[in-house]
Amino acid sequence: MVDIKDANRIERARLYDTIRGLSVISMVLFHFCYDLKYIMGIDLPFFRPPTQDVWRCTISWTFILLAGMMCNYSRNNLKRSAKYLAVALLIFVVTSVAAVDTPISFGIIYCMGACTLTTAVLERTGVRPPGWMGVVLLAAAFIVCLNLQEGIIGLGANALRLPRAPYEAGWLSWLGFPGPRFASGDYYPLLPYLFLYLSGWGAGAKVKESKTTSAVLSCGIGPLEVVGRRPLPIYVAHQPILLILADAIARFA
């Protein structure tokens, strides 16, 4: 999720805005279904695994990948990361006090902030975005580490179970090793999502350099662009509104 307010206003970012806007709308619909089913108790036969899991991934992975790509357009990624982390802290406090569902610790906004902070540090130490080979390797690392929070690395018959020590430590949940008592309503730790973010950072740099892609990236869909330019305020505001709507529907269901 990227707030374009910090990014350079260039025509070639319009496609990013459009894709992000579509993902924001998808996120709102997903959360509305979640509220109806898991908080209000309304049965939604279609909203269950694997459909639910695939839908969630199409939203969050798109946000993280685009956020990495947009690092190449931001004037100050350090400031951008601070904004994300401040909002993540606010979300934790509000969800803890409201107690409507499990409080959100290290959710997707935290992930955006932590990944952007990491990228800002890399930039300031002179590290440049990876080339296409690096992009592919980082994307592969992300896929291989998808089950890291379950203590597994790898896929299928080649998967390995990791030692329990990092998970039993109890203080590495932010990194990707949730402790025995850890619980969160939305969990996106630094790993494995940093790999996806950095893959986007590299891909975005290559796309920005290419003159052949400028015509495609300058295309957009007006209404979706408007939504896509303000994902962070929408993320913060949409859930209370959805809960009110879901409660009204539950009363008449």
List, for residues 83-116, the tens digit of each pLDDT value: 999 999 999 999 999 887 889 999 999 999 999 9
State the average pLDDT for the chain: 91
pLDDT at residue 2, as a whole number:
52
Of 131, 20, 25, 114, nearest to 65 by C-alpha is 20
Of 94, 70, 92, 96, nearest to 81 by C-alpha is 70
Both tokens of 125, joined, read 């130490």
Both tokens of 48, joined, read 């269950």
Of 206, 70, 73, 189, nearest to 136 by C-alpha is 206
Is residue 160 helix, strand or coil? strand
**Helix ranges (DSSP H) in 44-102:** 51-70, 77-98
User: Residue 121 corresponds to which amino acid?
Assistant: V
pLDDT at residue 215, as a whole number:
66
pLDDT at residue 1, as a whole number:
59
pLDDT at residue 228, as a whole number:
92
Both tokens of 54, joined, read 């695939």
Beta bridge partners of 7: 74
Q: Which residues of the chain have pLDDT under 70?
A: 1-12, 214-215
pLDDT at residue 157, as a whole number:
83
The CA-based angle 59-60-65, given to 5 degrees, is: 105
